[in-house]
Each structure stands twice: as C-alpha cells, then as structure tokens.
Chains A and B, each alone.
Chain A
Amino acid sequence: MRNFLLFLFFSANLFCQKIDSSDFLILEGETPNYYYVLTNDGYYVSENSDNFTYKNYSDSLPKSLNVNVNTLLPVTHKSKNYLLYPGGGLLYLFENGAIKRVDRSFPHRNQYGAYFFSYKDDLYLIGGYGFWETKSIITKFNFNSGDWEIVTAFGQSPDGIDQGTFFIKDDNLYVFDFLTRTSNNQKEKRNDNLYVLNLESFVWKKLGVINPLIRSENQFKGTKRFFKFDNKLLFSYLDNPEFYLADLENNLFKKFEDQILFYKSGGHSVIKKNNLIGAVKNSLTGGIAIESFNIASLISNGADTELYLYRGTEEFYVYIYFALSFLAILIVVLMVYYKRVAQTYLLDENTISISSVTKEINQKEQKILSLFSKKRNVSNSEIMDLFLEKGKTKDFAVKKKNKTLVALNERLFSIFKIEFIIKKKSKSDSRQLTYFLNKKVRILKEDAI
C-alpha cells in the first residue's frame, strides 16, 4: 500500500510545474496570492497551490544580498514578507516584486540559526550561534532607526538557543529541543527542557523535561522543520518520517508517520490554511516541484494515542507530597513501634541495661527482676520465697523483702527515671499483695533472647 501511494505520488510529480534553480525560498503570499517562491534571479507567484508563473524582480537585488536567497530567514509581518540576512543585521523586504533593504545596520554574524519572528508591531530575533558560542539574546528591529536593539530578558533563561524548535501562542514563545555551547572548548549539548518566554514581560520560565520519545537520533543543523498549524505545533526531523503535533497548552502531543508529507516538507515549506506547501525533488527528472499537501485530513485520519509533551514540575511536586507523606507515616509507625519496644530492659547476671545505660544489681535484685521477666504480675508469696531463710523469722523476711524492693525501685528510678515495680492489693482479698511491673517496662533475660 505504501509503495503504491509512493508510486502515485511520484507519477503525479511528473506533471507538476518545475523550478529550475535549487536555491529558492517559499514565502506566504498576501491575499489573493497563495505563495511566492523566490530564487536568485526572479520569483514565482501562484494564485493557488497548483499553478505558478515566473516573474523577474522589478528591481535589481541589493548589493549587500550576497548570499543565496534560500539562506535568508523569512517572516510575514503585517502582511509583508521580511527577509533577514543569515547571522542577523541586514533586513530586506519583499514587496511589489522587488527585494529592498530596509535596515541601516551591518551583518552581525552573531545569531546564525536564530529564530526570526513577528510579535505585535515588532520583529525579533532570538538565540542563535556566533563567535563560537550559542546565544540566548533577543534582538528587536527598530523600524525608526533601522537598527537592532537588544531586549533584556529575565528569569530562568537557557544558556544558549541554537537550532531550537519554537512556537508562539498568545503572548508566549515556547522553545525546546535546542543546542547549547557556552564556550569554545565545549561540544554543543542538547537541552531537554521546555522553556517559555513571555513576550510582554520578557521573563523566561522552565516548564519541564520534554518527553524522551521526542528525540532525533542524529540532530544536526538544519535537520528539523516546525510549523504552526491549527494553534498547535507541527514538527519533525529530517532523518525520520515521524511527525509530532504538539498541543503545548494542554501538554499533549500526537505522533504519526507519513512518507509523502515527509518528502514534501523536506525542503523549504510553509503552511497556509490546511495545506503544507513544499518543495519536492523528483527522483526521475531531477527537477524540483512545488506541491501542496492537505494536513488536516491526515491528522484527523491518523489520530494516534496522545502522550504527555513534557513532565511538568507540578507532577513532581505531587510526587514530593506523596514521598514526604510516606516518610512521615514511616516515622510515625516506627515511633509507635519504638515506644513499645524501647522500654525493654536487658537483664543479665549482674546488670540491667537499656541502650547505653547500665545499672549493676545484686543477686537478690536479679532474682526479683527475673520473676518479672517471666510474667508482669508476681504475687507476694513468690517474692517472699526468695527471702525466706532457715533460722530466720518470717517477719524478718518480710522486712528484708520490703526494704529490698523499695531500694531497688529507688535505684532504678534514679537511673532510668521510671518506677519499675508497683505494689497493689488484690481486689478479691485486700490482705493479698501483688507486685506489678510498670506497663511501660519490659524485662528480657539475656538467656531468653
């Protein structure tokens, strides 16, 4: 099917009108003309996309225009076609069949590969490459003085914008996929972020990281094209027949592939209404033809799944809230757990300890605490068994027990700041005493671990 379409396309090409020169520039024409094709010797003008007629320039080209016309940067400003000399500086106007110089400047040679655009009443040139560095400067043409002025910008400005993809919507200029080289000994590096410049306040802002699916494998100068179409950005790379239609406001893009559009948009091309006007080199005759291609039908037919254009910082902030919440929950859970296990005292033959705090105890105290390591409430009789001695009265044992328990509690409190053993009367029989281990305390014998 694809070969068949290509066959039809190239067959149709045989009957198209041809341009002799390969150095030409397509310009949007003012109403009613559809477009112009400028060459070094003359120009073609078309009433529609199918027919065009050749005309000579009504005046000779300016002497300063010593480069091929296809190297000029065109822009339509107030229905007039302006042409900028490569690198900036010299500005020409194509009007009434002639190219006239309108500036009083000089070849700047400072902004090769810059983006030349019109906004409201002014013409701007942004970024570019010159004198071994990429630039992020913005220059504005002063129609009164005929010279260029530097516009001061603020905010998160990129270090340099060479060969970027640009898009203007409302008062914002979006730029991404550009190269940066800040000094002579550096290689150019690709900037992966989407930036936006407010053209009213001239404040830069980084919006986020571009979707990695949008990436040319072999990006080099002059290998991409981008157009404004239906308030969206249509762009592609010369090494790939994939096209991207980006909706920057809604952070979405669609990807589709079209071989014919790929060929037609390969050279100089512009978009007028729903058509792409492109230059196509015929592989059979070697001639170059100007053809139109209806994009609207292609996009509506080839609708693909929409993906995010850039990962915005807002999404990252949402994740950060989640991450911080997770950390907070983890700390709370661990704190509850720690509070529960933290009052676990380790009992060995001579000491009771917790963390780095250790208290020495005698044999009797060790035996009392051992009872509490097995169960939390110990009856008076069980403790009394530890103090009963042959030849000694029970009263002596009671006094010794009470004295030992009080002394033990006081000593432990002085170190650990918590009362270990609490004495309580039995609810059923008030004469019966029971000793309880404080609820916050847990005693573990070393040999039980």
Chain B
Amino acid sequence: MNIELILLVVLFGVIGFSGSYYLNGYLYNAFRQNKMYDPIVSRSSHKEKATRSGGMALFFTFCVCYGFGKAVFAMSVDLYALIAFIFVALTGMADDFFSIKYREKFFLQVFAAIVLLQSNIYIDSFHGVFGIYEIPLWASYMITVFVFIVIVNAFNLIDGIDGLAALLSVKFFVLIAGIIAVTSSEMNLVIPSIVGAITGFLFFNFNPSKKVFLGDTGALLLGSVIAFFIFYILDKDNFIITDPLIRRPLLVVLLIIYPLADTLRASLIRMYKGQSPFLADRVHLHHRLIDKGMSHWGASTSILIMSVSVLALGFVLSTYFSLTLCCIIIFIYLFILYYLFFN
C-alpha cells in the first residue's frame, strides 16, 4: 500500500464520518420536529425517544462519497450493483415510513437480487465444499438470490439493540478492506467511506439524548452491500489474497457468523414452536444478553469480540487442518460460547 492510497483512505474515511455525523444530526432534528419517533412496543429494548433516520443518513453519505470519489478519483462500483443498493435502500425507506408487508418486502428484495446479478458478480463456485467447484449458471443465479435474501434479512434481524448491526458491519468492512485493496483498485475507497459513515452513525446510536436507529433503510442497505462483497469473494474470477490461508466459503461464513447463526437459531426456534420463521419476537441471542442485565453497549461489543475471535480461530485452524475439521472445531467453539454467555 503506498502513501497516496493511505492518504486517500483516510480522506474518504473522514468524509464518510463527518458527512454521516452531520446528516444524522440534521435528520434527527428534522424527524423530531415532525414527531417521527420509533414507536416503543413490548419487543422494544429501548425507552428513549429515537428516530429511524440513521439508514437515510448512511445512504445519503454513501451517495456523497461515491459522487465525490467517482468525480475526482477512480472510484467505481458496478452500475447494476449500485442500482440494487439504491433499490434496497428505497425499499427500506418505504418500510420505515409506511411499514410495508413482509411479503411485499420479500419480492422487492428478490428483484434487487436479480438486478445485482446483472453485475456478473455472483456465486459461481462452491470452491470445493461438498467436493463441488463450478456450478451451472441457473444454479448460480438461484443460490445467489437465496444468499442475498438471507444476508439482507439476517442483518435486518440483528438490528435489535444499539450498535450491534453497525459494529458487526464495521468489523466486516474493515476486515474485507484488505482483500478489496488487493483485488480491486476501483473499490479501494468504497470501504473507508462506508466505515466512516457507520462510525458517524454510532455516535448517535449510543447517545440516549439524540438516539438514532438504522431502521430498515440502514439494515437492508448494509446487508445488501455486505452481500455484494460476499459474492465478490465467492466469484471464482476474482483474486482473493486469503486463498492461501482459508477457504473462501469458510471465510465468508465466519465474516458474518453472528447474523447467520442468530437468524438460523431464531428461525428454528420459531418453527419448532409452530410459528412463522419470520415472526418478530425476542428470541434473538442479543435479547438474551439484554435480559440477563447487560447494557446495549456491553452486549454489542461482547458479540463483536466473540465474532472476531471466531474469525481468528478460523484463520488459525485453516492453516493446519482440513475444511471439515475446521468446521467441526469452530462448531464446538460456538457451542462453548453459547453456553458460557447466552445460556
């Protein structure tokens, strides 16, 4: 990494942070003046008045950073991916303002995933999982759409306590930045913008006097961007620096282990109870930490540290063991974490 690139990374991080900080404050005041607070219901983990303007602030910050980066520097993201992100963000905004039905939201997400496929970045190989490498195009498309829906909704579902979705997103983007820096010079500056914007949002998210939530706009937007980068890693045509260290499928699962594990667990519990897997309730792991008396800050940072530890373990194990053995050991480690902290 050269000095010029480091300076640009810092510049875009600062632009993202300051833009997000300003927009979060501005939108918070705008929402407050119009009494547009997030309703406090029985499932709510907060008692303060809070607005769901964080996602909009993130979205507008991304737009500003991208516009600046595109105009001044060689920053570029595939057009179809951008359209998909915008579409998902607009779906989230509609949900934040009008509370659209889940089925409608689902079909809008499927449409966004189909738009994203046009970018030619999709899961076209299993990279040796179950002995499968390349997969047929129709299967690639179906799996990509399915994974997109899962990731986007998983990030929406974990957005139940202060800072959790944002901190886990920061972790994802910070760790993946090294891979993108090597493989795609056009997207080098995208990640510092995103990380800066999320950091600016976090200062409002943890502030009880000016509390701002990501809302569906933010959660769906972050989920879709994360899904895009996961497809980027799993696309066999891309050079991934971590290949000598860890298998790509294991890497992506470990990068988003908490949203995946929590969503899978919550869905299984609901189905076991004979309820819809999409039912909104308080069976999530982070709710258990809050119910045990932990603060939102404590719960979010604990989950962040645990997820980083799982990722680190995955890297270490991959150096010495086969994929199957790595998965078994990581599974045991997850069970230990569950019994120590969540049970």
**A210 to B240 alpha-carbon distance, docked (Å):** 10
Asked if B236 lies at the interface with its beta carbon under 8 angstroms from chain A, I say yes
Closest to B174 in A: A323
Report chain B residues within 8 Å CB of A56: none
Contacts A212-B239, A337-B203 given: A354-B245 contact, CB under 8 Å? no
Instruction: Indicate whether A444 reaches chain B with its CB closer than 8 angstroms.
Output: yes
Decide: A209 and B239 in contact? CB cutoff 8 A: yes
Known: A356-B45, A449-B32, A449-B49. A207 touches B174 (CB 8 A): no
Check B133 for interface membership: any CB of A closer than 8 A.
yes
Give min CB distance, A300 to chain B, whole Å: 27
Any B CB within 8 A of the CB of A316: yes
> B52 at interface (Cβ–Cβ under 8 A)?
no
Give the docked Cα–Cα distance between A206 and B208 (Å): 50
Interface contact A208-B206, CB-CB below 8 Å: no
Residues of chain A within 8 A of B327, CB atoms compared? none
Q: What chain A residues lie within 8 Å of B48 (beta carbons)?
A: 346, 353, 355
Residues on the A chain within 8 Å of B239, using CB: 192, 209-210, 212, 311
Q: Which residues of B contact A344 (CB under 8 A)?
A: 207-209
A399 CA to B112 CA in the complex, in Å? 68
B214 to chain A, nearest CB (A): 16
Question: B11 near A: Cβ within 8 Å?
Answer: no
| Residues A182 and B133 in contact, CB atoms below 8 Å apart | yes
A208-B241, A330-B199, A356-B47 are known contacts. Are A186 and B174 too (CB-CB below 8 A)? no
Segment among B60-68, B74-82, B176-184, B218-226 that sits at the interface with chain A:
B176-184
Bound form: Cα–Cα A446–B49 in Å: 9
**How far, in angstroms, from A34 to B307 measured CA to CA in the complex?**
64
Asked whether A186 and B49 contact (CB < 8 A) given A208-B244, A323-B175, A449-B32, the answer is no
B44 and chain A: residue at smallest CB distance: A356
With a cutoff of 8 Å between Cβ atoms, the chain A residues found around residue B257 in the complex are: none
User: For the complex, is B134 an interface residue (Cβ under 8 Å from A)?
Assistant: yes
Say whether B182 contacts A209, CB under 8 Å: yes
Contacts of B56 in A (CB 8 A): none
Is B304 a contact of A358 with CB atoms below 8 Å? Answer: no
Kindly supply a per-residue 1/0 record for chain A positions 255-279, scoring 1 wherever the CB is within 8 Å of any chain B CB and 0 otherwise: 0000000000000000000000000
B308 pairs with A324, CB closer than 8 A: yes
Considering residues A187, A319, A342, which has the most beta carbons from chain B within 10 angstroms of its beta carbon? A319
> Is the pair A342, B295 in contact by a Cβ cutoff of 8 Å?
yes
Across-interface contacts of A327 in B (CB, < 8 A): 170-171, 174, 304, 308
Closest to A195 in B: B244
B133 with A342: CB separation less than 8 A: no
Q: How many residues of A contact B (CB 8 A)?
A: 44
A356-B45, A356-B46 known; A342 vs B208 contact (CB < 8 Å): yes
Q: Across the interface, do B304 and A331 meet the contact criterion of CB distance under 8 Å? A: yes
Main secondary structure of the interface of A (DSSP, over half): mixed
B265 CB within 8 Å of chain A: no
> Is A189 positioned at the interface, with any CB of B under 8 Å from its CB?
yes
Contact B209 A209 (CB under 8 A): no
Across the interface, name the chain A residue whose C-beta is closest to B295: A355
Smallest CB separation, B255 vs chain A (Å): 12
Residues of A318-363 whose CB lies within 8 A of B? 319-320, 323-324, 326-327, 330-331, 334-335, 337-338, 341-342, 344, 346, 353-358
Chain B window 174-214, contacts with chain A (Cβ cutoff 8 Å), 1 for yes, 0 for no:
11011001110000000000000001001100111110000
Provide the residues of chain A in CB contact with B182, threshold 8 Å. 209, 311, 316
**Which chain B residues in 158-175 approach chain A with CB under 8 Å?**
163, 170-171, 174-175
A315 to B206, CA, bound (A): 35
Interchain Cβ contacts under 8 Å between A and B, 28 examples: A156-B244, A186-B133, A187-B134, A189-B133, A189-B134, A192-B239, A192-B243, A193-B243, A208-B244, A209-B244, A311-B182, A315-B241, A316-B182, A316-B241, A316-B242, A323-B175, A326-B174, A334-B163, A334-B202, A335-B297, A337-B203, A342-B208, A346-B47, A355-B46, A355-B47, A444-B208, A449-B32, A449-B210
Ranked nearest first, the 4 interchain pairs of A and B with the lowest CB-CB distance are: A206-B244, A319-B178, A344-B208, A323-B174
Other A-B pairs, 14, CB within 8 Å; known A186-B134, A338-B206, A344-B209: A189-B125, A189-B134, A206-B244, A208-B244, A209-B239, A316-B178, A319-B1, A334-B202, A335-B301, A341-B207, A341-B209, A344-B208, A346-B49, A449-B49
